[in-house]
Amino acid sequence: MVHAIAMDETSFRSVNILLAEDNEADVKITIRAFDKAKLKNNLFVVNNGEEAIDFLYQRGAFQDANKYPRPDLILLDIKMPKVDGFQVLEKLKSDPQLKLTPIIMLTSSKNEEDIVRSFTGGAASYITKPVNFEDFSKMVNGFNFYWQIINKLPPQK
Amino acid sequence: MFKRHTIASKLLIYSLAVSLVPLIFFSIVSYKLYSANMEKELRAELGFKADNIVHDLRIYLKEKEQGASILSTRKTLIDTAPRLISSFNSHSSDIATIDKEISDYISYFINFYGYYDIFLLSPKGDMVFSYLKEGDLGANINSDPNKFSEILKVFGKAKETRQPALSDYGYYEVSKKPSIFIAAPVMNGGKFEGVVVCQIVQKNVDEFLGEYSSFGDTGEIVVGHKISDDEVLLQGGLRFVPAAAFKIKRKMGGPIALPMQKAVNGEKGIGFDVDYRGEKVLAQWQYFEPLHWGIVTKIDVKELYRPVYQLQYMLLIIGILSTLSVIFVSILVSRKTTVPIISLTKSARAVAGGDLNAKAEITSNDEVGELSRAFNQMSAGLKSSVVSIDELNKEIEIRKQVEERLRFLASIVESSSDAIIGKTLGGTIISWNKGAEDVYGYSASEIIGKSVSALAPVELKDEMIKILDGIRRGERVVHFETKRLTKDGREIYVSLTVSPIKNRSGSVVGASTIARDITSRKIMESRLNQTLLELKRSNKEMETFTYSASHDLRAPLRAISSFAQFMQEDYHDKLDETGRGYLEEIKSGAKKLDRLVQDLLTLSRVSRIRNPYEVVSTYAIIKNVFGRLLYDIKKKKVGVYIQAGLPSIKCDKVKMEQVFYNLLSNAVKFSSKGIYCAQRVEVGYRDAGNEHEFFVKDNCIGIEPKYHAQIFNIFARLHTDKEYEGTGAGLSIVKRVVEDHGGRIWVESELGQGAKFIFTIPKEPKKDILEQIGG
């Protein structure tokens, strides 16, 4: 049986977050918002769905498990070249090893069909990116507070 | 002539006297009533505002207190606190490591709740942790009761009650900032491990109070604290003296800042008084126990009475206008009275002269009209006694006309371009007009005596037999569209009307067929269908395009806005005031554009998604909408009135809810702006025959008639951003939905008179044209 270890009890291990985002500007904005929150997270960035899958399976350019650890949380854009967010979602949720990792859709789309599809596919949360940076920053703060203080993350092997 | 003038001038004088006296009286009374009423409303309004502030302030503090509670009950903190304290006591070097660890954790709370700093105090009062480490770290708060007075108070209270505690708002020397402290005890089981203290500073408090200083031009919220028996310190919310909080003091018992003096003494009330600037104001004052604050909500008397002056001006104009119209009306009335008398006189003279056709014009039903009528009867009586031979000639003329008409009818049949065919019940053709020759190609001599079945294509012979069977039973076939064969074997489309021909005794002896060649129309129809299909497709493409375009636009917008922000933050020193201003413009431009894009998205969604119509209760819809708006309605204290007996209607339920939501949320939004509004929103209904007619009415700003058509256009904006947030897409969406249902929408409003939005929904809503052709 899986014994869930609460985040609160794991001392203060920094949380590894994987961001899959193809838009260069959005990557910079997200990194800056995380920096601004002054949190001790490791934020890893990949630029499309294919890289995201490589990262998660620690293959291709991401073979070094010390440099590229399994993430505790995944921030996933929907519209990406090669393999899109939904495909990544489907792939991870069908993998018994990776399916516990919470996936948070982080997208510009407010489209109802996208929202329904994300939750149906097993996403843990759906967040739309605000246009204004202050709002973006607040959103990241709220995100961190919820996922790292209130929520209890599943264990990492 | 002389007489006429006398009647006119008498009428004028009478009506002026009768109408102006009550008008003057009425003006004075309504002016008095209005002033009194307005004052009453303003007092109520100010009371609402003030209560809201206190309400929101409580929630604000509660939220900050909740943050402290959550932090103090986290396992991480409960475990770390004793470790920190023991290494503090033993001067162990471990403390730096533990401090660093917990700092990361604490930072979440600082960020999320917007605290300035967070401390951890040991049960003895040692400050073993401070996130900002401003110089108080390591001190024991008992060592300097003066410096730590507020922290000491909340520490003691939290320790004693085991509950969170809130300090007064005071200047904290270490941070050099006015601060509020919130303490929460750290308990491990029953064991008291210390106290977490969260600090809120002036910046946060001012932001909170500042939000309210926007009402009217002079509205302001002032908070004050009684620092000694004879002095009040103004602590925030000063709109007219920025950055003066904590600097201005007023003497208790002094001649100014009277509402504040009452507030800090624990009184609550509302009235006219002199504020801290010495200005006359309408103020509400009350005491806010949790922070020991006097809170004064006020607005300058000068601003309040502006509408009263406007009313005076308006009454003057009304007076002048009514005097003018009274003069006009009395002249009109006197003319109406005298003109017929003159005309009657004229006619009487004509009859007297021998003209028996002369008639008096009857222009009214009054006594003069009656007189004219009597005169006419008299002259008619005279005339009827003179016999004419014209009657006989007329009779002959009528007979000629009947013959003419019969010939005419026959030639219509012959010249009609429709085929008109007579046949027996067995189907034998007995008459064949010129039109039939043109349509079918057979001449009359060729076809008469043959069977009509020659005209039907093989597969439709049965249809023809069925029609004849129907005719035998006396049935008609009207505008029946089918195919027929011409002489040269072409298939044509015809529209048939077949009626039984009955003999004198009423039994059916044959049938008449009128056939119209509709081949070219059929071709047009199929082309039209094709075009409609294409239109539908391109519409759909257009919508998809709008959707994805507006969607993709948001990413670059985010880049523009965010990088402008980064530039402001990172290159602040390298830019001068102008440069920083430009960046601000970029950001606000991006923000506006984003709102427009979002509206476009909503509008395109309304067009894209179509739900089947169902019968729904509009009362249920409105109740739902109210649920969604409840927060605003309560917060803004809007009175809402729903007419009883709202009907169930056939509509797209989701979209109809959107219609009511947009209209009601507009009304609520408008109703809450400005201090002069009596906040009232009304939803009503009228059965308008084939249609349901609904209205949503507010009584606030109103809309000038010249804008009435424009407001339904997408992105029309009547109000500057400052006055009214939101764009014009809401009403465009409403219009779109209403018109999709086959209804209409319009607005009745005058500036300053509130607005009434009225829309209709047909009881049998029309189907979407694109849907009709199979979408």
pLDDT of residue B722: 45
Instruction: Check residue B211 and give its pLDDT.
Output: 65
Has residue A114 got a pLDDT over 80?
Answer: yes
Q: Of A29, A37, A110, which is closest to B562 when you measure between CB atoms? A: A29
The interface predicted TM-score (ipTM) is: 0.79
pLDDT (mean) for B439-454: 89
Is pLDDT above 60 for B718?
Answer: no
Q: Report CB contact under 8 Å: A144, B111.
A: yes
Task: Flag if B587 and A132 touch (Cβ within 8 Å).
Answer: yes
What is the Cα–Cα distance from B536 to B773, expressed in whole angstroms? Answer: 10
Give the pLDDT score at B673: 52
CB contact under 8 A, A25 and B558: yes
* Axis crossing angle, helix A85-93 with helix A49-56, rounded to the nearest 10: 20
Q: Has residue A4 got a pLDDT over 50?
A: no
With CB atoms and an 8 Å threshold, state whether B561 touches A111.
no
**pLDDT cut 70: percent of chain B above it:** 92
CB pairs under 8 A between A and B: 89
Q: Are A112 and A118 in contact (CB under 8 A)?
A: no
Confidence of residue B338 (pLDDT cuts 50, 70, 90): confident
Residues in chain B: 775
Find the radius of gyration of the CA atoms of chain B.
Answer: 44
Helix (H) or strand (E) holding A100: none
Query: Chain A residues with CB inside 8 Å of B131's CB?
Result: none
What pLDDT score does B660 carry? 93
Average pLDDT over chain B reads: 83
The most confident of the ranges B192-196, B332-336, B402-406, B666-670 is: B192-196
What are the chain A neighbours of B556 within 8 Å (beta carbons)? 25
* Cα separation, A32 vs A16, whole angstroms: 16
Kindly determine whether residue A8 and residue B75, on different chains, have CB atoms separated by under 8 Å: yes
Tokens of A32: 């800056």
pLDDT mean over B412-423: 86
Q: What angle do CA B493, B439, B479 make, to 5 degrees?
A: 45
For B110, the closest chain A residue by CA position comes to A37
User: Which pLDDT does position B740 carry in this prediction?
Assistant: 87
Using a CB–CB cutoff of 8 Å, tell me whether B551 touches chain A.
Answer: yes
Q: Which residue in B has a C-alpha nearest to residue A12's C-alpha?
A: B101
- pLDDT digits 0-9 by tens, B391-411: 677 878 888 888 888 788 778
Higher pLDDT, A17 or B29: A17
pLDDT of residue A40: 61
**B639-642 and B680-688 beta bridge pairing:** parallel
The answer, for B390 touching chain A at a CB cutoff of 8 Å, is no
Whole-angstrom distance, CA of residue B393 vs CA of residue A53: 107
Q: Which residues of A touch B591 (CB under 8 A)?
A: 131-132
pLDDT range class, residue A157, cuts 50, 70, 90: low
pLDDT tens column, B570-615? 998 898 888 888 998 898 888 888 877 877 777 777 777 778 888 9
Nearest to B558 among A11, A26, A149 (CB): A26
CB contact under 8 A, A130 and B102: no
Residue of chain A with shortest Cα separation from B67:
A145
Placement of tokens 């052709």 in the chain: B773
Spell out which residues of chain B touch residue A129, defining contact as CB-CB under 8 Å.
Answer: 554, 558
State which amino acid sits at residue B660: F
pLDDT band at B754 (very low <50, low <70, confident <90, very high): confident
Task: Among B76, B112, B590, select the one facing A131 at the smallest CB separation.
Answer: B590
Position A7 pLDDT exceeds 50: no
What is the C-alpha separation between A153 and B232, in angstroms, rounded? 52
CA gap B493, B515 in Å, rounded: 10
Contact B565 A108 (CB under 8 A): no
% of chain A beyond a pLDDT of 90:
41
B591 in Cβ contact with A132 (< 8 Å) = yes
Q: How far apart are CA A32 and CA B567, in angstroms?
A: 12
CA distance B129 to B152: 16
Strand partners, B480: B496
Residues of A in Cβ contact (< 8 Å) with B552: 108
Give the pLDDT mean for B424-436: 89
Q: What is the pLDDT of residue B209?
A: 77
The reply to whether residue A149 touches residue B74, judged by beta carbons under 8 angstroms, is yes
Q: What is the pLDDT of residue B773?
A: 43
State the average pLDDT over residues B57-73: 89
> Which pLDDT band, with edges at 50, 70 and 90, does A1 fall under?
very low
Give the pLDDT score at B566.
92
pLDDT of residue B596: 78
- CA distances B727 to B695, B712, B721, Å, are 21, 11, 9
pLDDT > 70? residue B378: yes
Confidence grade of residue B122 (pLDDT, cut at 50, 70, 90): very high
Check CB contact under 8 Å for B591 and A8. Answer: no
Strand arrangement, sheet containing A15-20: A41-46, A15-20, A73-76, A103-107, A125-128
* pLDDT of B390: 63
Q: Which two tokens stand for residue B460?
A: 């439709």
**Structure token digits, residue A6:** 């609460």
pLDDT in tens, B632-663: 777 777 788 888 888 999 998 888 998 999 89
pLDDT digits (tens, 9 = 90+) for A62-104: 988 888 988 999 999 998 888 889 999 999 999 988 989 999 9
pTM: 0.54
Confidence label for B723 from pLDDT (cuts 50, 70 and 90) = very low
Which distant-in-sequence residues (6+ apart) come within 8 Å of A129 by Cβ? A26, A106, A107, A108, A136, A139, B554, B558
CB contact under 8 A, B562 and A25: yes
Q: Does residue B202 contact residue B174 with C-beta atoms inside 8 Å?
A: no
Q: How far B637 CA sits from the closest chain A CA (Å)?
A: 29
Question: Which residues make Cβ contacts (< 8 Å) with residue B440, sequence separation at least 6?
Answer: B419, B447, B455, B484, B486, B487
Residue of A nearest to B75 (CA): A8
Say yes or no for a CB contact (<8 Å) between A131 and B566: no
Is pLDDT of B5 > 60? no
Cβ–Cβ contact B594 with A under 8 A: yes
Residue of A nearest to B591 (CA): A132
Contact list in B for residue A8 (CB cut-off 8 A) is 74-76
By the 8 A CB rule, do A145 and A42 touch? no
Q: Identify the pLDDT of residue A154.
A: 82
Asked whether the beta carbons of residue B75 and residue A40 sit closer than 8 angstroms, the reply is no
B590 inside 8 A of chain A by CB: yes
Residue B135: both structure tokens together: 């110089």
Q: How confident is the model at residue A30 (pLDDT cuts 50, 70, 90)?
A: very high
Residue B599 and residue B213: Cα distance in Å, rounded?
Answer: 30
- What pLDDT, on a 0 to 100 scale, did the predictor assign at position B2? 45
Name the minimum distance, in Å, from the CA of B654 to any CA of chain A: 14
Mutate to test the interface with B, among A133, A136, A144, A151 (most CBs of B within 10 A): A133
Query: What would the mean pLDDT of A102-107 be, rounded to a whole number?
Result: 93
Query: How far is the alpha carbon of B595 from chain A, nearest alpha carbon, in Å?
Result: 10
What pLDDT does residue B504 have? 79
Name chain B contacts of A6, Cβ cutoff 8 Å.
75
Cross-chain residue pair A8–B76, CB shorter than 8 Å: yes
Measure CA B73 to chain center.
Answer: 47
Say if B554 is an interface residue toward chain A (CB within 8 Å). Answer: yes
B284-336: per-residue pLDDT in tens? 999 998 889 999 988 888 877 777 777 778 888 888 888 888 888 877 877 77
Asked if residue A76 lies in contact with residue A106, where contact means CB atoms within 8 angstroms, the answer is yes
Per-residue pLDDT band at A5 (split at 50, 70, 90): very low
* Contact present, B670 and B698 (Cβ < 8 Å): yes
Q: Number of C-alpha atoms within 13 angstroms, CB side, residue A83?
A: 17
Checking if the pLDDT of B270 tops 80, the result is yes
Which of the residue ranges B113-122, B240-249, B524-533, B687-696 would you say has the lowest mean pLDDT?
B240-249
Cβ-based contacts of B105 with chain A (< 8 Å)? 12, 149
